[in-house]
Structure 1
Amino acid sequence: MKGRILTTLAAVAALALSVATADAVTLRLSTQVAAPHPFIDVADFFKAEVEKRTNGDVTVKIFPNASLGKDDAVFNELRIGTVDLMISSTNNAAKQLPQVQIFDLYYIFPDYDAFNAATAPGSPVFESLQGLADERKLGIKFLALFGSGSRNLSVATGPVETLDDIKGLKMRTPPSQIVAKSWQAFGTVPVTVAWPELYAAIQTGVAQALESTLSGNLGSKLYEVAPYLALTQHSINGSYFAMSERSWGKLTPEQQKIVADVAAEAGLLGTKKGMEADDNLAEVLAKDHGVTVTKPDLEPFIAAITPLHEEFAKEIGASDLLAVIRGSI
């Protein structure tokens, strides 16, 4: 009898272990940047809180600095579930979802409050983007949209005081036609370069200028090759936190709620860190790294680009989305 009881207990323990093992999940999270950067803050917070709230049943492994590849390749892996999570700038998803380039319309959001109101989980903008992704059968689930700092202009050749100072410069742009056309409207010559190749492109003269968040500039040491920073603040860096639908389906309903809740909180943290970077990092770049910082008159920049908003939105099939954003501000 004692032997039967022990056998039964062992069987129950084995069953419990198998159930626990079935529910245990490790998620691979990819991003293109290195610390310090709001993307890393978002990833670190997400990892810590998900592991804590699931009692370790869901663990997160972070792969920073493009260690899993460039965004295009990672996005495709996200679709099939070989990468579970991805944090990136919206313009890097332009090939797969052209409408996300709506965030590349410069000077469309007057401030962070307007941006946050327009992009909060459950907002019309958020739901519209998820609907567009579903229509294209991308196999991704947006967890959060956030702003990871304002984007500013950095130049290798000299300080920028006016719009005329950048005429004819070879301007690095991400794979977004709207970004390229915007800088063309400013009088530069756009050159598409992937983020991991940006430092070398500036260093070798393939490009002479770039635009980025201050965190991205500092984290990737772009100040070494482009030591002139102009605070154009032409956009709040639209950023997204997305998950593979296949990976989402591996989670229990309870785990899904935890992941969704933590991702939303992480997005708010990302925006907060972006705002802090805007307040502090220009001074850090100037004092600690010898960067020349200028504050050009923004009115000519705004005047050159604002009339193109509706034209650009129509080109990417986002006229309705533009109207939703304007209605949210």
Structure 2
Amino acid sequence: MLKMKKIMSLVLAVVMLISFVGCGAEEKPASEKTAASTEETEKKAEEPAAEPVSDPIIIKLAHYAEAGHPADIAANEFAEKVEERTEGQVVIEVYPANMLGSPDEVLEQNILGALDMSLPTQGHLSKYSQKFATVMMPFVFNDYDHVYKVLDGPFMEWASPDLEAQGLVFLSNWDWGFRNITNNQREINSPDDVVGLKLRTPPEVQLQAAMEALGANVTQIAFSELIMSLKQGVVDGQENPLSVIYYNNLFEAQDNLAITQHVYNSMVNVMSKKTWDTLTEEQQAIVKEESINAGNKMRTMMQEQDQELISKLEAEGMKVTYPDRSLFKDQMQPAYDAIADYAGQENVDAFLKMCEDNQ
């Protein structure tokens, strides 16, 4: 009997222990669960909501330089930097070599807002603002440093409002270079050697007037037809920057190169005001800064290439001469008069003063 009592006591103790453990594992009351859930919700509400990702702004940049030319290299670097700094929100697509039309057509599209960005020269822009015509006056610049002081300083401030009136934003000045004379008749060592030469120029008053002041017979021929015209003897020569002469193989039809540096002109990076206004202030600042950086890169590349290109042209069989530029400048008054008739004497006087004050 005593043994049975001990067994019963043991069973009862086990049952009580199980019951105690069960009570300890009970679920929390509903009120406690609600409080915890509310606290979690409040924490999530405090976390910042993810910003919606917008589609990038696509900017089409068209220019006339060949792929691989310093202008195209600079344009592509410009595009890379803008996309990187805007974290992909502004994407610039580059179209070289007149892919979207001739320079005049591209500029017109840019003004109308049908194209976002372009790189016209002062010659193209002078059709819309006569102030740009003054930049291409012959023999007004001493060297590249003189050019940059004038164009990046007083000239940009002077000409920007004219572009704004056309619906364009003047971002920065790039480069194209000093122009030089080539021909297949004779070496040029003085202005007398230009007399009677049949020379092709673009249809720009400044270039035509400069060559005519030296006694050349000037003809306008489309650039696409130039090398064939040179080979067929339609014209004896032409004038262009060294990069154009080399990259377009004009040495195939030209024997002589004279480093006259008679006219400087450059690409000008302009943007449609319509597109500009779609950018935030921060994006506008980035685009402008990187445009200036790209222009400076192109300038450096062009200057570094000058001597290299002369050597390459000599290796292709061209005879290179370095005539005294002052002798050529002395004959430019008829050209200055013609340019003043086109651009306005007031504009010519204002520009010449800029050149004099910023040497």
Q: What range describes the TM-score normalised by the shorter chain of this pair? A: 0.7 to 0.9
Deviates more, 1:272-281 or 1:314-323: 314-323
Question: Out of 300, 305, 314, which is 1:286 matched to?
Answer: 314
Match of 1:94 among 126, 136, 148: 126
Q: Is 1:114 equivalent to 2:150 in the alignment?
A: no
Instruction: Give the Å deviation of 1:75.
Output: 0.8
* Residue 308 of structure 1, CA deviation: 4.9
1:311 shift after superposition: 6.2
Verify: 1:183 aligned to 2:211, yes or no. Answer: yes
Q: Are residues 192 and 311 of structure 1, via their aligned partners in 2, closer, same or farther at CA, if it must alter by over 3 Å?
A: closer
1:300 has 2:332 as partner: no
Task: Map residues 238-277 of structure 1 onto 2, 5 A cutoff.
Answer: 238-277=266-305
Contiguous gaps of at least 5 residues in structure 1: 1-11
Deviation at 1:161, TM superposition (A): 2.8
2:82 to 50, 56, 68: 50
Deviation at 1:158, TM superposition (A): 3.4
Asked if the contact 1:50/1:262 (under 8 Å) is kept, the reply is yes
Say which SS state the counterpart of residue 274 (structure 1) adopts: helix
Could you tell me how far 1:174 is from its partner in structure 2?
A: 1.8
- Alignment deviations for residues 252-308 of structure 1 (CA, whole Å, 9 cap, x no partner): 221111100001111112221221122221011112x22221222333212111675
State the Cα distance separating 1:232 from its structure 2 match: 0.9
Distance 1:200 1:249 in 2: 45
Say whether the 8 Å CA contact 1:103–1:238 is kept in structure 2: no
Question: Does the residue aligned with 1:234 lie in a helix, a strand or coil?
Answer: coil
Structure 1 position 151, deviation (Å): 1.4
The one of 166, 189, 198 equivalent to 1:170 is: 198
| Cα distance between partner residues in 1 of 2:184 and 2:275 | 42
Deviation at 1:165, TM superposition (A): 2.2
Counterpart of 1:38 in structure 2 is 70
Letter in 2 for 1:164: D
Matching of residue 132 in structure 1 with residue 162 in structure 2: yes
**Residue pair 1:92, 1:175 contacting (<8 A) in 2 also:** no
**Residue equivalent to 1:7:** none
Q: Assess, with a 3 A threshold, how the Cα gap between structure 1 residues 309 and 184 changes in structure 2: closer, same or farther.
A: same
The correspondence for 2:189, drawn from 161, 167, 177, is: 161
Residue aligning to 1:16: 52
Do 1:93 and 1:100's aligned partners in 2 also have CA atoms closer than 8 Å?
yes
Partners of 2:292 and 2:78 in 1: how far apart? 9
In 2, the alpha carbon distance for the partners of 1:242 and 1:234 equals 25
* Counterpart-to-counterpart distance in 2, 1:236 and 1:97: 18
Correspondence list, 1:184-223, <5 A: 184-223=212-251
Aligned length: 310
Once the 2 structures are TM-superposed, how far is the Cα of residue 167 of structure 1 from its aligned partner? 1.5
Give the TM-score of the pair, scaled to structure 1. 0.86
Displacement after TM superposition at 1:130 (Å): 1.0
Q: Is the 2:209–2:338 contact (alpha carbons within 8 Å) kept by the matching residues of 1?
A: no
Give the gaps of 5 or more residues in structure 2. 1-48
Distance 1:322 1:273 in 2: 28
Summarize deviations over 1:40-71 as a string: whole Å, max 9, x none. 23212211211111122211221111121211
Question: Is this contact kept in 2: 1:91–1:175, CA < 8 A?
Answer: no
Distance 1:68 1:325, change over 3 A: same
Q: Distance in 1 between matches of 2:61 and 2:224?
A: 17
CA distance in 2, matches of 1:50, 1:218: 31
Moved more, 78-87 or 254-263: 78-87
Quote the sequence identity (%): 28
User: How far did 1:199 drift?
Assistant: 2.7
Match of 2:358, as an amino acid?
S
Q: 1:310 to 1:113 in 2, by over 3 A?
A: farther
SS in 1 for 2:120: strand
Cα distance in 2, alignment partners of residues 285 and 35 from structure 1: 20
Q: Is the 8 A contact 2:213 2:334 kept in 1?
A: no
Residue 111 (structure 2) aligned to one of 52, 76, 79: 79
Tell me the residue number matched to 1:323.
353
Relative distance call for 1:194 and 1:103 in structure 2 (3 A) is: farther
Amino acid at match of 1:16: P
Specify the alignment match of 1:234 in structure 2: 262
- Does the 8 Å contact 2:135/2:265 carry over to 1? yes
2-structure distance, mates of 1:314, 1:327:
24
Q: Which has the higher strand share?
A: 1
Task: In structure 1, give the amino acid aligned to 2:120.
Answer: S
